[in-house]
Amino acid sequence: MASIEKRTGANGKATYRVDIRLKGHAQITKSFGDIETAQIFAKYKEMTLRECDKFDASDEDLYTLRDVLVSKYSEGDKSFRICLSYFEDFLDKPLRKCGYEELMDLAVTTLNSTITVGGRRENGTGVKKKPEIGTIIRRFAYLSSAINSMIHGGVSIDNPAIKVVRDLKTIQAERTKH
């Protein structure tokens, strides 16, 4: 069942927090700036979850990566913003499409890319360097933590991010040896 709670921030601005709890599904919580959007989201998500039960769909087909992140982190959380940015191409895919191979490809692509640190991107100043493997591990650890929260909430899904973190740490250890 979905509930909507009106909350007033320190600045006096009202937000509306949607809380959806259905037996057999992980809790979904999300905040909105207006009541209409909150109501639409609540009805849509609740209806989707109920309808999918009729078709015997797996949890990995029902939930997207965005759902996982929203259930774990608040929208203002730094971990949430990092995951939204880094895992942008995966956000609206069903979890089964976010498997180990796809996530590991993203990690390897990132490791082999260059980033600009400091300066201004628009005028090309700054230092170009390879991303730190520790930074990439942290990004996957945030994702893994969010997926684990869904698992502990009763959702039956696999956690490929934890395998990616393990393999990246192995790569990091090998690089440290040399």
Q: Look at the pTM and tell me if it is higher than 0.75.
A: no
Same domain, 166 and 176: yes
Rounded CA-CA distance 29/156 in Å is 19
Per residue in 99-138, pLDDT (tens digit) is 888 899 999 998 888 877 777 666 667 788 888 889 899 9
What proportion of the chain, given as a percentage, has pLDDT over 90? 12
Tell me which of 54-63, 82-91, 138-147 is least confident: 54-63
Same domain, 145 and 156: yes
Q: What pLDDT is attached to residue 70?
A: 84
Q: How many domains does the chain have?
A: 2
pLDDT higher than threshold 90 for residue 9: no
- Domain containing 165 equals 59-178
Same domain, 30 and 104: no
Rounded CA-CA distance 163/137 in Å is 11
Same domain, 173 and 152: yes
- Angle at the Cα of 72 from the Cα atoms of 71 and 74, rounded to 5 degrees: 90
Same domain, 46 and 85: no
Same domain, 150 and 74: yes
